[in-house]
Amino acid sequence: MGLCATCAHAKPITSARGSTFWLCGRAAEDPRFARYPRLPVLACPGFEHRERPL
Ligand code: SF4
């Protein structure tokens, strides 16, 4: 699943076809980040561990 699954900036999105992916909240402010990162993200400078599960 990669880093996005436990990142505070990731938001899970489920498409109409039923697949789930992550929307990166950092992408809106910082062009280094993809809005929909290609998974798995194994290293990311913007990663911050999410304290609580979704
Ligand atoms: S900051 Fe990195 S790890 Fe966090 S959601 Fe964006 S791409 Fe994923």
The model's pLDDT over 6-31, given as tens digits with 9 standing for 90+, comes to 999 999 999 999 998 999 999 999 99
pLDDT band per the 50, 70, 90 thresholds, residue 35: very high
Which atom in ligand 1 lies closest to the alpha carbon of residue 37?
Answer: 7
Cα distances from 31 to residues 17, 20, 27, in angstroms, run 28, 23, 6
Question: What is the residue range of 33's domain?
Answer: 1-40
Is the pLDDT at 1 greater than 80, yes or no? Answer: no
Instruction: Provide the domain count of the chain.
Output: 1
Domain-located, residue 34: yes
Domain-located, residue 2: yes
Q: Is the CB of 33 under 6 A from ligand 1?
A: yes
Domain-located, residue 46: no
Domain-located, residue 5: yes
Q: Record the pTM.
A: 0.88
The pLDDT assigned to 27 comes to 98
Domain-located, residue 45: no
CA of 44 to the centre of ligand 1 (A): 6
Rounded to 5°, the CA angle 22-41-9 comes to 45
pLDDT band per the 50, 70, 90 thresholds, residue 53: confident
